[in-house]
Structure 1
Amino acid sequence: MMDQVAAAIEHKAYARIGLLGNPSDVYYGNTISLSLANFWATVKLEPSDQLVIRPHPAHDLVQFDSIDHLVNRLQSEGYYGGVRLLMAICKIFYKYCKAENIALHGGNFTLSYDTNIPRQTGLSGSSAIVCAALNCMLDFYKVRHLVKVEERPNLILEAEKELGIVAGLQDRVVQVYGGLVFMDFNKSHMDKLGHGIYTQMDISLLPPLYLIYAENPSDSGKVHSTVRQRWLDEDEFIRSTMNEVANIAVEGRQALLAKDHAKLASLMNRNFDLRRSMFGDDALGALNIKMVEVPRQVGAASKFTGSGGAVVAFCPDGPEQATRLQDACEKAGFIVQPVQVVPSLLTEADLKISSS
């Protein structure tokens, strides 16, 4: 038996809300995102004789009461749990360290995970698991000081791409940084640096926000979107509209700094309306659209937190409007929670090795 002198390592990574500018992060745009304290994933690394990826007793279920149970489970949860995510980040981390000549000491470990992030809500549950696992390995191998903060989101995204998950850097950036982050994905930065320019903002600039989601988000849009291909084909409407979406984050940053909440509300609504004009209702899904429209019926601003499944809302008229928002959403069958924001997660050591 190996001498297990090393203590277990545990890290938490949070869900996120794309506040403004999404989905332009995939199109060399700008976004503002915040780290959501309401939900999180945890990964635990324990030294062990062999390298073990431990299935979650609920999320990686392989034993069922009946075939009905199996089918119902697959329809609500899908085929995939977190094991493949942990395996993928192990591979990507190892390959990165090898390419960068970062020596990894011997010794094995057991990885296990847990999460309370609701599935299929567009709150970045998968990348939270990957982010937490990466943090565990950075500490286990004692190489945190050798992997720049700006590069960590890329590793998380690469692990997800390994599994065919289509996504951008926005979610992974805010999960690494925490707090409130303005991100500039200008093509010149991306080509030159391999990552965007990420600027942390004071979370006290945020007004009270509300998270809205459905308990059973079955209708997430049944039609495959053509936006990506149209953008690649230099479709004029898609290109100009996506540029407008990217500029919303720039304007939003100024609105937050000026505490211009009326402007913020207008930008949130505009962000979703532009997305809708590009993607179309069939791709967005009726339930997702209803989730945006219900808050607007009481005068609140609303937009997707990501690509659908959950909505972030802002009540510019204050607490009385927030009460009406709560009532309207509950009547429509949606869950509403006040948004809790995670402060910055970066340490002094992280800031010292930041390359920008």
Structure 2
Amino acid sequence: MKQEQLFRSRAPIRVDLAGGWTDVPFFAAERGGAVVNATINRYTYATLAPRADEKIEITSADFQQFLSVQNFRELEYDGNLDLIKAAISRLGIQRGMNLFVRCDAPPGSGTGSSASIGVALIGLLNLLQDNRLSAYEVARLANLLETEELHIAGGKQDQYAAAIGGFNYMEFKDPSVNVSPLHLDTSVVVELEKHLVLCYTGKSRLSGNLITRVQEAYLAGRAETVGALERMRDVAVEMKSALLKGQIGEFGRLLQANWECQKQLDASITTDQIDHLFEVAGAAGAVGGKALGAGGGGCVLFLASPDREHDVRTALEEAGVQVLDFNFEFGGLRVWNSWNGARVVD
């Protein structure tokens, strides 16, 4: 029986720890941005099976969406699986295929899931074409899927996190990006894994023009906006130092400091629910926290004081949110070939 060759890829999601928003071009180009983030063991998986004809069939397990077109010329951006279409278009794929995509992250979680999908797709299609793009090149192309193909405003940290993996300190001076891996002592990593508590509040309900509002406030010279962005950039620099020195308490303080600045950017970044979760978690022993991504819902990350993580978890669950277990992931994009399920690492 003829074996079917499959192409597969995997890319992690991330938790943004400090400096988010300063990677957005309107700020990074003028003042330079800095971010600290880390990838975790939740992933986007993508599988591609070549077809003998030109038909393209796409399945998204997360959104329970299916698309079938006769050939690549019929792909159009219409709000249905557009990110996947953008990857096919950007890489100039003109052949038939069956494409399956799923992501471990809940929708609207603020964990960079769309960037993880973009990176997994670029890696997958790159493998199909037998190209040898670097992680930086994959990240750059994945970012262009959103910013150029789909005209979605946003920063760049998510794509570089998904492509490279691990703990990273990133510097942005648009259009350039510099990623410095943070080689933390194992004791620091496991201490963070023990005491960090990640919860999911439900899909973020931020309005689509949030970035536009923050950009307009920044360009108008609103002192609170400019000051908050500059402080978040500085917090990222301080957090890099705290992590490398193993200063977990200082890390928690900086996590909270970043959140206080983040809330100054727009009223919609926090919600009554999120404020309540901070009260509940704080009473149970949390020493700092922040909403991931832009905020407005999605995931919130808390650092518990020593041996209080169970109390924080219990309090959050009793408040009605889902606690998500995780460990840190030190690999980025992975691609491989599979024949009838037999894995062969590329």
TM-score bracket for the superposition, by shorter chain length: 0.7 to 0.9
2:255 corresponds to 1:268? yes
2:299 corresponds to 1:310? yes
In the alignment, the residues of structure 2 paired with residue 284 and residue 222 of structure 1 have an alpha-carbon distance, to the nearest angstrom, of 15
In the alignment, the residues of structure 1 paired with residue 59 and residue 97 of structure 2 have an alpha-carbon distance, to the nearest angstrom, of 14
Contact 1:53-1:111 at 8 Å conserved across structures: yes
**Residue of 10, 22, 25 corresponding to 1:24:** 22
More helix by share: 1
Deviations along 1:203-256, one digit per CA (max 9) or x if unpaired, are 534322221112x43654799462211112233332222111001111001000
**CA offset at residue 314 of structure 1?**
1.1
SS at match of 1:55: strand
Give aligned-pair identity as a percent: 20
Deviations along 1:128-182, one digit per CA (max 9) or x if unpaired, are 22211111111111112xx332232221111122224332101111000011111
Q: Which shifted more, 202-211 or 114-123? A: 202-211
In the alignment, the residues of structure 2 paired with residue 57 and residue 329 of structure 1 have an alpha-carbon distance, to the nearest angstrom, of 28
The amino acid of 1:150's aligned partner reads Y
**CA offset at residue 7 of structure 1?**
1.9
The amino acid of 1:237's aligned partner reads E
Contact 2:166-2:330 at 8 Å conserved across structures: yes
SS at match of 1:217: coil
Question: What are the equivalent positions in structure 2 for 1:1-356 lying under 5 Å apart?
Answer: 7-26=5-24, 27-28=27-28, 29-37=33-41, 39-49=42-52, 50-56=54-60, 59-61=63-65, 83-94=81-92, 108-144=96-132, 147-161=133-147, 162-185=149-172, 187=173, 190=174, 194-202=175-183, 204=186, 205-206=188-189, 207-208=192-193, 209-214=196-201, 216-217=202-203, 219-220=205-206, 224=210, 226-280=213-267, 282-300=268-286, 301-308=288-295, 309-315=298-304, 317-319=305-307, 321-345=308-332
Contact 1:182-1:198 at 8 Å conserved across structures: yes
CA 314–279 in structure 1, closer or farther in 2 if over 3 Å, else same: same
TM-score by length of 2: 0.80
Q: Which shifted more, 243-252 or 227-236? A: 227-236
Q: CA RMSD in A?
A: 2.7
In the alignment, the residues of structure 2 paired with residue 201 and residue 122 of structure 1 have an alpha-carbon distance, to the nearest angstrom, of 22
SS at match of 1:24: coil
SS at match of 2:10: strand
In the alignment, the residues of structure 2 paired with residue 274 and residue 58 of structure 1 have an alpha-carbon distance, to the nearest angstrom, of 33
CA 53–248 in structure 1, closer or farther in 2 if over 3 Å, else same: farther
In the alignment, the residues of structure 1 paired with residue 112 and residue 36 of structure 2 have an alpha-carbon distance, to the nearest angstrom, of 15
In the alignment, the residues of structure 1 paired with residue 150 and residue 240 of structure 2 have an alpha-carbon distance, to the nearest angstrom, of 34
Q: Is there any run of 5+ residues in structure 2 with no aligned partner, and where?
A: 68-77, 335-346
**CA offset at residue 51 of structure 1?**
4.9
SS at match of 2:229: helix
Contact 1:221-1:286 at 8 Å conserved across structures: no
The amino acid of 2:273's aligned partner reads L
**CA offset at residue 265 of structure 1?**
0.8
TM-score by length of 1: 0.78
In the alignment, the residues of structure 2 paired with residue 58 and residue 41 of structure 1 have an alpha-carbon distance, to the nearest angstrom, of 10
**CA offset at residue 294 of structure 1?**
2.9
SS at match of 1:25: coil
The amino acid of 2:272's aligned partner reads A
Aligned to 1:354: none
In the alignment, the residues of structure 2 paired with residue 290 and residue 325 of structure 1 have an alpha-carbon distance, to the nearest angstrom, of 13
Contact 2:197-2:312 at 8 Å conserved across structures: no
Deviations along 1:114-138, one digit per CA (max 9) or x if unpaired, are 2231011112222222211111111
CA 197–57 in structure 1, closer or farther in 2 if over 3 Å, else same: closer
Contact 1:220-1:288 at 8 Å conserved across structures: no
Q: Is there any run of 5+ residues in structure 1 with no aligned partner, and where?
A: 64-78, 95-103, 348-356
Contact 2:57-2:66 at 8 Å conserved across structures: no
Deviations along 1:187-212, one digit per CA (max 9) or x if unpaired, are 2xx3xxx3311011135343222211
**CA offset at residue 46 of structure 1?**
1.3
CA 35–58 in structure 1, closer or farther in 2 if over 3 Å, else same: closer
Contact 1:222-1:285 at 8 Å conserved across structures: no
The amino acid of 2:86's aligned partner reads A
Contact 1:127-1:171 at 8 Å conserved across structures: yes
